[in-house]
Structure 1
Amino acid sequence: MKNTILILFITLLSVSCKKEPQYLVKIEGKQLPISAEIASDKTIEDFILPYKEKVEAEMNTVLSYTPKDLVRIDGKLESSLGNLMADLCFERANPVFNSRTGKNIDFAMLNFGGIRAGITKGDIKTINAFNLMPFENSLVVVEMTAEKVTELAKYLIAQNKAHPISKQLNLIVEANEYNLTIHNLPLDDSKTYFVLTSDYLQNGGDNMVFFKDPVKLFKLDYKVRNSIIDYFTEIDTIKVELDGRFTKEN
Protein backbone atom coordinates (compact mmCIF):
# COMPACT_ATOMS: atom_id res chain seq x y z
CA MET A 1 0.00 0.00 0.00
CA LYS A 2 2.81 2.38 0.93
CA ASN A 3 4.54 1.65 -2.35
CA THR A 4 1.33 2.37 -4.27
CA ILE A 5 0.89 5.72 -2.49
CA LEU A 6 4.55 6.60 -3.12
CA ILE A 7 4.28 5.80 -6.84
CA LEU A 8 1.07 7.84 -7.08
CA PHE A 9 2.74 10.78 -5.33
CA ILE A 10 5.78 10.70 -7.64
CA THR A 11 3.51 10.51 -10.70
CA LEU A 12 1.45 13.51 -9.57
CA LEU A 13 4.63 15.44 -8.75
CA SER A 14 6.15 14.80 -12.17
CA VAL A 15 2.95 15.86 -13.92
CA SER A 16 2.66 19.03 -11.86
CA CYS A 17 6.30 19.94 -12.63
CA LYS A 18 5.89 19.48 -16.38
CA LYS A 19 6.69 22.70 -18.26
CA GLU A 20 3.76 23.93 -20.28
CA PRO A 21 4.43 26.08 -23.38
CA GLN A 22 4.08 29.79 -22.76
CA TYR A 23 2.04 32.01 -25.09
CA LEU A 24 1.93 35.79 -25.37
CA VAL A 25 -1.66 36.79 -24.79
CA LYS A 26 -1.50 40.54 -24.32
CA ILE A 27 0.77 43.54 -24.95
CA GLU A 28 0.22 46.81 -23.19
CA GLY A 29 1.91 50.12 -23.91
CA LYS A 30 2.04 53.33 -22.00
CA GLN A 31 3.11 56.79 -23.20
CA LEU A 32 5.55 58.53 -20.88
CA PRO A 33 5.80 62.19 -21.93
CA ILE A 34 9.12 63.93 -21.37
CA SER A 35 8.60 67.42 -20.03
CA ALA A 36 10.20 70.01 -17.77
CA GLU A 37 8.33 68.47 -14.87
CA ILE A 38 10.64 65.45 -14.95
CA ALA A 39 13.66 66.20 -12.80
CA SER A 40 17.10 65.47 -14.28
CA ASP A 41 19.40 62.99 -12.63
CA LYS A 42 22.58 64.81 -11.57
CA THR A 43 24.55 61.57 -11.42
CA ILE A 44 23.83 60.89 -15.09
CA GLU A 45 24.47 64.53 -16.02
CA ASP A 46 27.86 64.49 -14.28
CA PHE A 47 28.76 61.24 -16.05
CA ILE A 48 27.84 62.60 -19.51
CA LEU A 49 29.30 66.10 -19.08
CA PRO A 50 32.97 65.33 -20.01
CA TYR A 51 31.89 63.55 -23.20
CA LYS A 52 29.44 66.35 -24.07
CA GLU A 53 32.14 69.00 -23.63
CA LYS A 54 34.60 67.02 -25.76
CA VAL A 55 32.11 66.55 -28.60
CA GLU A 56 31.10 70.23 -28.52
CA ALA A 57 34.75 71.29 -28.63
CA GLU A 58 35.41 69.05 -31.64
CA MET A 59 32.27 70.15 -33.47
CA ASN A 60 33.16 73.84 -32.96
CA THR A 61 36.74 73.48 -34.20
CA VAL A 62 37.35 76.03 -36.99
CA LEU A 63 38.61 74.34 -40.16
CA SER A 64 38.43 77.04 -42.82
CA TYR A 65 36.72 80.27 -43.87
CA THR A 66 34.28 81.25 -46.60
CA PRO A 67 33.94 84.88 -47.70
CA LYS A 68 30.38 84.28 -48.91
CA ASP A 69 27.38 82.04 -48.29
CA LEU A 70 27.68 78.64 -49.97
CA VAL A 71 24.32 77.22 -51.06
CA ARG A 72 22.91 74.73 -53.52
CA ILE A 73 20.34 77.09 -55.08
CA ASP A 74 22.38 80.04 -56.39
CA GLY A 75 22.36 78.66 -59.93
CA LYS A 76 19.92 76.71 -62.08
CA LEU A 77 22.09 73.81 -63.30
CA GLU A 78 25.07 74.30 -61.01
CA SER A 79 25.63 75.85 -57.60
CA SER A 80 28.49 77.17 -55.51
CA LEU A 81 28.06 74.41 -52.94
CA GLY A 82 27.49 71.71 -55.55
CA ASN A 83 30.60 72.71 -57.48
CA LEU A 84 32.60 72.78 -54.26
CA MET A 85 31.34 69.35 -53.18
CA ALA A 86 32.13 67.65 -56.49
CA ASP A 87 35.51 69.36 -56.88
CA LEU A 88 36.72 68.70 -53.34
CA CYS A 89 35.69 65.04 -53.49
CA PHE A 90 37.58 64.70 -56.77
CA GLU A 91 40.65 66.45 -55.34
CA ARG A 92 40.72 64.34 -52.19
CA ALA A 93 39.88 60.99 -53.84
CA ASN A 94 42.04 61.08 -56.98
CA PRO A 95 45.40 60.67 -55.17
CA VAL A 96 43.97 57.69 -53.29
CA PHE A 97 42.67 56.10 -56.49
CA ASN A 98 45.89 56.82 -58.38
CA SER A 99 48.08 55.32 -55.66
CA ARG A 100 46.11 52.06 -55.83
CA THR A 101 45.51 51.72 -59.56
CA GLY A 102 47.98 54.00 -61.38
CA LYS A 103 44.96 55.57 -63.09
CA ASN A 104 43.14 58.90 -62.62
CA ILE A 105 39.50 59.72 -62.02
CA ASP A 106 37.87 61.40 -65.03
CA PHE A 107 35.21 63.38 -63.15
CA ALA A 108 32.95 63.31 -60.11
CA MET A 109 29.17 63.36 -59.83
CA LEU A 110 27.02 63.51 -56.70
CA ASN A 111 23.35 64.37 -56.18
CA PHE A 112 21.47 67.56 -55.42
CA GLY A 113 19.49 65.94 -52.61
CA GLY A 114 22.66 64.76 -50.90
CA ILE A 115 23.55 68.34 -49.96
CA ARG A 116 21.67 68.69 -46.69
CA ALA A 117 22.70 72.17 -45.50
CA GLY A 118 24.37 75.34 -46.67
CA ILE A 119 27.40 77.07 -45.15
CA THR A 120 27.01 80.70 -44.12
CA LYS A 121 29.69 83.33 -44.62
CA GLY A 122 32.42 83.18 -41.98
CA ASP A 123 34.26 80.42 -40.16
CA ILE A 124 33.67 76.86 -41.33
CA LYS A 125 33.56 74.43 -38.43
CA THR A 126 33.49 70.67 -38.13
CA ILE A 127 29.77 70.84 -37.40
CA ASN A 128 29.26 72.35 -40.87
CA ALA A 129 30.70 69.20 -42.45
CA PHE A 130 28.31 67.02 -40.42
CA ASN A 131 25.34 69.22 -41.33
CA LEU A 132 26.36 69.19 -44.98
CA MET A 133 26.76 65.41 -45.07
CA PRO A 134 24.99 63.71 -42.13
CA PHE A 135 25.00 60.31 -43.85
CA GLU A 136 27.72 57.64 -43.68
CA ASN A 137 28.12 57.51 -47.46
CA SER A 138 31.52 56.50 -48.85
CA LEU A 139 33.28 57.45 -52.06
CA VAL A 140 33.58 54.87 -54.84
CA VAL A 141 34.96 54.95 -58.36
CA VAL A 142 32.87 53.41 -61.12
CA GLU A 143 34.48 52.35 -64.39
CA MET A 144 31.84 53.14 -67.02
CA THR A 145 31.51 52.61 -70.75
CA ALA A 146 31.01 55.64 -72.99
CA GLU A 147 27.43 54.44 -73.48
CA LYS A 148 26.80 54.68 -69.71
CA VAL A 149 28.37 58.14 -69.59
CA THR A 150 25.94 59.16 -72.34
CA GLU A 151 23.10 57.90 -70.14
CA LEU A 152 24.52 60.02 -67.32
CA ALA A 153 24.49 63.13 -69.53
CA LYS A 154 20.91 62.47 -70.63
CA TYR A 155 19.92 62.02 -66.98
CA LEU A 156 21.37 65.44 -66.11
CA ILE A 157 19.51 67.05 -69.00
CA ALA A 158 16.20 65.37 -68.12
CA GLN A 159 16.52 66.20 -64.43
CA ASN A 160 17.22 69.88 -65.17
CA LYS A 161 18.67 70.18 -61.69
CA ALA A 162 21.96 71.30 -60.15
CA HIS A 163 23.40 67.89 -59.39
CA PRO A 164 27.05 68.41 -58.34
CA ILE A 165 29.49 67.59 -61.14
CA SER A 166 33.20 68.35 -61.05
CA LYS A 167 34.89 70.84 -63.36
CA GLN A 168 36.46 68.09 -65.52
CA LEU A 169 33.06 67.57 -67.17
CA ASN A 170 31.40 70.20 -69.32
CA LEU A 171 27.86 69.83 -70.64
CA ILE A 172 26.26 72.43 -72.90
CA VAL A 173 22.68 71.92 -74.07
CA GLU A 174 21.41 73.79 -77.12
CA ALA A 175 17.87 73.20 -78.40
CA ASN A 176 17.60 69.43 -78.90
CA GLU A 177 21.35 68.85 -79.02
CA TYR A 178 24.09 68.75 -76.43
CA ASN A 179 27.86 68.89 -76.34
CA LEU A 180 29.65 66.80 -73.74
CA THR A 181 33.39 67.03 -73.08
CA ILE A 182 35.59 65.46 -70.42
CA HIS A 183 38.95 67.16 -69.84
CA ASN A 184 38.06 69.31 -72.87
CA LEU A 185 37.85 66.21 -75.10
CA PRO A 186 34.72 64.78 -76.73
CA LEU A 187 33.38 61.46 -75.48
CA ASP A 188 35.37 58.55 -76.94
CA ASP A 189 33.17 55.51 -77.63
CA SER A 190 36.18 53.18 -77.47
CA LYS A 191 37.15 54.23 -73.93
CA THR A 192 35.91 53.55 -70.45
CA TYR A 193 35.76 56.35 -67.90
CA PHE A 194 36.44 56.41 -64.17
CA VAL A 195 33.70 58.34 -62.40
CA LEU A 196 33.73 59.24 -58.71
CA THR A 197 30.44 59.05 -56.83
CA SER A 198 28.98 57.80 -53.54
CA ASP A 199 28.13 54.21 -52.70
CA TYR A 200 24.48 55.27 -52.29
CA LEU A 201 24.28 56.57 -55.86
CA GLN A 202 26.29 53.65 -57.23
CA ASN A 203 23.56 51.38 -55.93
CA GLY A 204 20.99 53.28 -57.99
CA GLY A 205 20.01 55.95 -55.49
CA ASP A 206 18.19 58.96 -56.95
CA ASN A 207 17.45 56.78 -60.01
CA MET A 208 21.08 56.98 -61.13
CA VAL A 209 20.87 53.46 -62.55
CA PHE A 210 23.71 54.11 -65.01
CA PHE A 211 26.13 53.62 -62.08
CA LYS A 212 24.90 50.06 -61.49
CA ASP A 213 26.64 47.03 -63.03
CA PRO A 214 29.85 48.89 -63.94
CA VAL A 215 32.81 47.48 -65.83
CA LYS A 216 34.57 47.58 -62.46
CA LEU A 217 33.90 49.08 -59.06
CA PHE A 218 36.60 50.51 -56.81
CA LYS A 219 35.80 51.09 -53.13
CA LEU A 220 38.05 53.76 -51.63
CA ASP A 221 37.02 53.28 -47.97
CA TYR A 222 36.83 57.06 -47.70
CA LYS A 223 33.65 58.66 -46.37
CA VAL A 224 32.28 61.71 -48.18
CA ARG A 225 32.15 63.61 -44.88
CA ASN A 226 35.79 62.81 -44.12
CA SER A 227 36.84 64.13 -47.52
CA ILE A 228 34.99 67.38 -46.74
CA ILE A 229 36.70 67.73 -43.37
CA ASP A 230 40.11 66.92 -44.83
CA TYR A 231 39.66 69.48 -47.60
CA PHE A 232 38.49 72.24 -45.25
CA THR A 233 41.39 71.49 -42.91
CA GLU A 234 43.92 72.03 -45.72
CA ILE A 235 42.32 75.08 -47.39
CA ASP A 236 42.48 78.34 -45.43
CA THR A 237 39.87 80.24 -47.48
CA ILE A 238 37.29 78.61 -49.72
CA LYS A 239 37.02 80.08 -53.20
CA VAL A 240 34.31 78.77 -55.51
CA GLU A 241 32.44 80.23 -58.48
CA LEU A 242 29.76 79.26 -60.96
CA ASP A 243 31.82 78.48 -64.06
CA GLY A 244 29.26 77.18 -66.59
CA ARG A 245 30.17 73.52 -66.36
CA PHE A 246 26.52 72.66 -67.09
CA THR A 247 24.48 75.17 -69.10
CA LYS A 248 21.44 75.35 -71.33
CA GLU A 249 21.40 77.88 -74.13
CA ASN A 250 18.15 79.14 -75.65
Structure 2
Amino acid sequence: MQQDFLYLIDKNDIKEKNTLINIYSNTNVNYYLSDDFSKEFYILLAKTGFISTSIFIDNLFYLLPEIQFEYAILDFDNLHINKRVKKLINQNNFEFLINKDINKILEKLDDYHKDNWLTNKYKDLIVDLYKNPDNNFSILSIELYDKNSKELIAGEIGYKINSTYTSLSGFSSKDENYKNWGKLQMVLLALYLEKNNFSFWNLGHPYMQYKFDLGAKLYSREDFLKRWLTQIQ
Protein backbone atom coordinates (compact mmCIF):
# COMPACT_ATOMS: atom_id res chain seq x y z
CA MET A 1 0.00 0.00 0.00
CA GLN A 2 1.74 3.15 -1.22
CA GLN A 3 -0.20 5.91 0.48
CA ASP A 4 1.18 8.23 3.15
CA PHE A 5 -2.10 8.89 4.93
CA LEU A 6 -5.56 7.38 5.31
CA TYR A 7 -8.82 9.29 5.53
CA LEU A 8 -11.25 7.97 8.14
CA ILE A 9 -14.71 7.50 6.62
CA ASP A 10 -18.11 6.33 7.82
CA LYS A 11 -21.46 5.47 6.27
CA ASN A 12 -22.56 9.12 6.22
CA ASP A 13 -19.63 9.97 3.94
CA ILE A 14 -20.71 7.27 1.49
CA LYS A 15 -24.38 8.21 1.67
CA GLU A 16 -23.62 11.90 1.10
CA LYS A 17 -23.59 12.29 -2.70
CA ASN A 18 -21.09 15.14 -2.97
CA THR A 19 -18.62 13.48 -0.60
CA LEU A 20 -18.82 10.24 -2.57
CA ILE A 21 -18.29 12.11 -5.85
CA ASN A 22 -15.18 13.73 -4.34
CA ILE A 23 -13.88 10.30 -3.33
CA TYR A 24 -14.49 8.96 -6.83
CA SER A 25 -12.78 11.94 -8.47
CA ASN A 26 -9.70 11.96 -6.22
CA THR A 27 -7.27 10.03 -8.40
CA ASN A 28 -4.44 10.37 -5.87
CA VAL A 29 -6.14 8.31 -3.16
CA ASN A 30 -7.53 4.80 -3.26
CA TYR A 31 -7.40 3.53 0.35
CA TYR A 32 -9.58 4.74 3.21
CA LEU A 33 -10.01 3.70 6.82
CA SER A 34 -12.95 2.89 9.08
CA ASP A 35 -13.67 1.32 12.45
CA ASP A 36 -17.21 0.42 11.37
CA PHE A 37 -17.54 -3.34 10.82
CA SER A 38 -21.32 -3.30 10.55
CA LYS A 39 -23.07 -5.26 7.81
CA GLU A 40 -24.86 -2.13 6.63
CA PHE A 41 -21.64 -0.21 6.05
CA TYR A 42 -19.83 -3.12 4.41
CA ILE A 43 -22.66 -3.69 1.94
CA LEU A 44 -22.91 0.04 1.25
CA LEU A 45 -19.20 0.16 0.46
CA ALA A 46 -19.44 -2.86 -1.82
CA LYS A 47 -22.41 -1.45 -3.70
CA THR A 48 -20.61 1.84 -4.31
CA GLY A 49 -17.58 0.10 -5.82
CA PHE A 50 -15.21 -0.28 -2.87
CA ILE A 51 -13.48 -3.59 -2.19
CA SER A 52 -12.63 -3.77 1.50
CA THR A 53 -9.81 -5.60 3.24
CA SER A 54 -8.41 -4.90 6.72
CA ILE A 55 -5.33 -3.56 8.46
CA PHE A 56 -3.73 -3.30 11.90
CA ILE A 57 -2.45 0.18 12.85
CA ASP A 58 -0.87 0.65 16.27
CA ASN A 59 -2.42 -2.66 17.37
CA LEU A 60 -5.90 -1.46 16.40
CA PHE A 61 -7.88 -3.33 13.75
CA TYR A 62 -9.54 -1.33 10.97
CA LEU A 63 -11.56 -1.90 7.85
CA LEU A 64 -9.58 -0.82 4.77
CA PRO A 65 -12.02 0.11 1.98
CA GLU A 66 -10.38 0.66 -1.39
CA ILE A 67 -11.83 2.44 -4.38
CA GLN A 68 -9.29 1.07 -6.80
CA PHE A 69 -7.49 3.02 -9.50
CA GLU A 70 -8.09 0.12 -11.90
CA TYR A 71 -10.10 -3.10 -11.97
CA ALA A 72 -9.94 -6.44 -13.77
CA ILE A 73 -13.32 -7.48 -15.19
CA LEU A 74 -14.19 -10.76 -16.86
CA ASP A 75 -17.00 -10.93 -19.38
CA PHE A 76 -17.77 -14.57 -19.94
CA ASP A 77 -17.58 -14.34 -23.73
CA ASN A 78 -13.88 -13.58 -23.20
CA LEU A 79 -13.19 -16.61 -21.00
CA HIS A 80 -10.04 -18.45 -22.06
CA ILE A 81 -9.48 -22.07 -21.02
CA ASN A 82 -5.93 -23.29 -21.62
CA LYS A 83 -5.01 -26.83 -22.64
CA ARG A 84 -3.85 -27.88 -19.17
CA VAL A 85 -7.13 -26.85 -17.59
CA LYS A 86 -9.13 -28.50 -20.38
CA LYS A 87 -7.23 -31.71 -19.64
CA LEU A 88 -8.11 -31.46 -15.93
CA ILE A 89 -11.77 -30.88 -16.81
CA ASN A 90 -11.78 -33.95 -19.04
CA GLN A 91 -10.14 -36.08 -16.32
CA ASN A 92 -13.02 -35.11 -14.01
CA ASN A 93 -11.20 -35.90 -10.76
CA PHE A 94 -12.72 -32.95 -8.93
CA GLU A 95 -15.87 -31.75 -7.21
CA PHE A 96 -16.78 -28.09 -7.63
CA LEU A 97 -19.13 -26.91 -4.90
CA ILE A 98 -20.65 -23.65 -3.71
CA ASN A 99 -21.22 -22.91 -0.01
CA LYS A 100 -20.46 -26.35 1.37
CA ASP A 101 -17.98 -25.39 4.11
CA ILE A 102 -16.98 -21.74 4.47
CA ASN A 103 -15.10 -22.47 7.70
CA LYS A 104 -12.77 -24.82 5.85
CA ILE A 105 -12.15 -22.14 3.22
CA LEU A 106 -11.36 -19.61 5.95
CA GLU A 107 -8.89 -22.04 7.55
CA LYS A 108 -7.17 -22.64 4.21
CA LEU A 109 -6.92 -18.91 3.53
CA ASP A 110 -5.27 -18.40 6.91
CA ASP A 111 -2.77 -21.18 6.21
CA TYR A 112 -2.04 -19.99 2.68
CA HIS A 113 -1.59 -16.24 3.19
CA LYS A 114 1.23 -15.10 5.44
CA ASP A 115 -0.49 -11.76 6.04
CA ASN A 116 -4.11 -12.86 5.91
CA TRP A 117 -6.40 -9.83 6.13
CA LEU A 118 -9.55 -11.97 6.32
CA THR A 119 -9.28 -12.33 10.08
CA ASN A 120 -10.50 -10.90 13.38
CA LYS A 121 -13.67 -8.76 13.14
CA TYR A 122 -13.53 -8.91 9.35
CA LYS A 123 -13.79 -12.69 9.43
CA ASP A 124 -16.69 -12.49 11.89
CA LEU A 125 -18.44 -10.03 9.58
CA ILE A 126 -18.03 -12.29 6.55
CA VAL A 127 -19.40 -15.30 8.45
CA ASP A 128 -22.35 -13.23 9.65
CA LEU A 129 -23.08 -12.04 6.10
CA TYR A 130 -22.74 -15.62 4.85
CA LYS A 131 -25.29 -16.88 7.36
CA ASN A 132 -27.60 -13.90 6.93
CA PRO A 133 -27.73 -12.66 3.30
CA ASP A 134 -29.08 -9.15 3.15
CA ASN A 135 -30.36 -6.60 0.65
CA ASN A 136 -29.38 -8.38 -2.61
CA PHE A 137 -25.98 -9.12 -1.10
CA SER A 138 -24.65 -12.58 -0.28
CA ILE A 139 -21.28 -14.18 0.46
CA LEU A 140 -20.23 -17.12 -1.71
CA SER A 141 -17.78 -19.82 -0.66
CA ILE A 142 -16.22 -21.36 -3.78
CA GLU A 143 -14.74 -24.81 -3.17
CA LEU A 144 -12.82 -27.29 -5.33
CA TYR A 145 -12.25 -30.76 -3.89
CA ASP A 146 -10.32 -33.82 -4.99
CA LYS A 147 -13.13 -36.23 -5.85
CA ASN A 148 -11.23 -39.22 -4.45
CA SER A 149 -9.56 -37.91 -1.30
CA LYS A 150 -12.28 -35.29 -0.57
CA GLU A 151 -9.47 -32.83 0.20
CA LEU A 152 -10.12 -29.14 -0.39
CA ILE A 153 -7.57 -28.15 -3.05
CA ALA A 154 -8.52 -24.63 -4.12
CA GLY A 155 -11.17 -22.05 -3.44
CA GLU A 156 -12.10 -18.49 -2.69
CA ILE A 157 -14.55 -16.24 -0.94
CA GLY A 158 -16.41 -13.46 -2.72
CA TYR A 159 -19.77 -11.75 -2.84
CA LYS A 160 -22.77 -11.54 -5.10
CA ILE A 161 -24.63 -8.26 -5.59
CA ASN A 162 -27.57 -8.49 -7.96
CA SER A 163 -26.07 -10.28 -10.98
CA THR A 164 -22.41 -9.40 -10.28
CA TYR A 165 -19.74 -11.44 -8.50
CA THR A 166 -16.65 -9.96 -6.81
CA SER A 167 -13.66 -11.98 -5.61
CA LEU A 168 -12.19 -11.24 -2.19
CA SER A 169 -9.49 -13.81 -1.37
CA GLY A 170 -8.49 -17.23 -2.63
CA PHE A 171 -5.95 -20.03 -2.35
CA SER A 172 -4.75 -23.15 -4.12
CA SER A 173 -2.69 -26.12 -2.99
CA LYS A 174 1.08 -25.86 -3.45
CA ASP A 175 1.30 -29.63 -3.89
CA GLU A 176 2.74 -30.41 -7.34
CA ASN A 177 0.11 -33.13 -7.73
CA TYR A 178 -2.46 -30.33 -7.93
CA LYS A 179 -0.64 -28.04 -10.32
CA ASN A 180 -3.10 -25.83 -12.27
CA TRP A 181 -5.99 -26.63 -9.92
CA GLY A 182 -6.12 -22.98 -8.91
CA LYS A 183 -6.69 -22.08 -12.56
CA LEU A 184 -9.20 -24.93 -12.81
CA GLN A 185 -11.16 -23.48 -9.89
CA MET A 186 -11.32 -20.09 -11.58
CA VAL A 187 -12.46 -21.53 -14.91
CA LEU A 188 -15.14 -23.64 -13.22
CA LEU A 189 -16.30 -20.58 -11.30
CA ALA A 190 -16.51 -18.53 -14.51
CA LEU A 191 -18.56 -21.29 -16.15
CA TYR A 192 -20.82 -21.45 -13.08
CA LEU A 193 -21.35 -17.69 -13.10
CA GLU A 194 -22.15 -17.69 -16.80
CA LYS A 195 -24.58 -20.61 -16.45
CA ASN A 196 -26.35 -18.81 -13.60
CA ASN A 197 -26.78 -15.59 -15.60
CA PHE A 198 -24.27 -13.39 -13.82
CA SER A 199 -23.46 -10.22 -15.76
CA PHE A 200 -19.70 -10.18 -15.13
CA TRP A 201 -16.98 -11.09 -12.67
CA ASN A 202 -15.12 -8.34 -10.80
CA LEU A 203 -11.65 -9.75 -10.11
CA GLY A 204 -10.44 -6.64 -8.31
CA HIS A 205 -6.79 -5.63 -8.67
CA PRO A 206 -5.51 -5.95 -12.24
CA TYR A 207 -1.89 -6.56 -11.29
CA MET A 208 -1.83 -10.36 -11.62
CA GLN A 209 -1.21 -11.88 -15.04
CA TYR A 210 -3.38 -14.94 -14.37
CA LYS A 211 -6.48 -12.74 -14.43
CA PHE A 212 -5.72 -11.59 -17.96
CA ASP A 213 -4.79 -15.14 -18.97
CA LEU A 214 -8.33 -16.03 -17.90
CA GLY A 215 -9.72 -13.36 -20.23
CA ALA A 216 -10.22 -10.36 -17.96
CA LYS A 217 -9.98 -6.81 -19.31
CA LEU A 218 -8.57 -3.72 -17.63
CA TYR A 219 -10.98 -0.98 -16.55
CA SER A 220 -10.05 2.45 -15.21
CA ARG A 221 -11.88 3.56 -12.07
CA GLU A 222 -14.09 5.85 -14.13
CA ASP A 223 -15.04 3.19 -16.67
CA PHE A 224 -15.53 0.58 -13.96
CA LEU A 225 -17.87 2.81 -11.96
CA LYS A 226 -19.98 3.61 -15.02
CA ARG A 227 -20.56 -0.07 -15.56
CA TRP A 228 -20.73 -1.10 -11.91
CA LEU A 229 -23.17 1.53 -10.69
CA THR A 230 -25.48 0.93 -13.65
CA GLN A 231 -25.57 -2.77 -12.82
CA ILE A 232 -25.96 -2.36 -9.06
CA GLN A 233 -28.57 0.39 -8.91
- The structure that has the greater radius of gyration is 1
Q: TM-score, normalised by structure 2?
A: 0.29
Higher relative contact order structure (alpha carbons within 8 Å, sequence separation ≥ 6) = 1
Larger fraction in strand: 2
Q: TM-score, normalised by structure 1?
A: 0.28
